[in-house]
Structure 1
């Protein structure tokens, strides 16, 4: 899933969802967040929010679950100023 904001051209958040199934039938979802941000924007990221985004995404998954975490990411990209 690719999440883009029309207000931030060139910036993308990708949610990659893999599902592992063992021979015993145990299903484990694995979700990761990948970021694609132009170099000019990274220079302005003094708090390293883009760098920490994948780890924060994993923490949100543990706290909120898959659906709420994905909704939160979408809302954060589409927020009005």
Structure 2
């Protein structure tokens, strides 16, 4: 799995897919992040805690407000 950082909080995340893990199966092959494309066409690689912290119809401003709280949870910062 490829490693990079979350666009929201900056924590290190793993991304599934690509040739690097084509033969990886079973537990541990899910990754810890996914790319979201927002309604305005912008794309962000976000960890699952950051995705959970976003409102139902997120905007780029919501992603900009994400902050790292601890190793397990992300939340939206004050506007």
Taking structure 2 as the reference length, the TM-score comes to 0.28
Which has the larger helix fraction?
Answer: 1
Which protein, 1 or 2, shows the higher relative CO under an 8 Å CA cutoff with sep ≥ 6? 2
Taking structure 1 as the reference length, the TM-score comes to 0.27
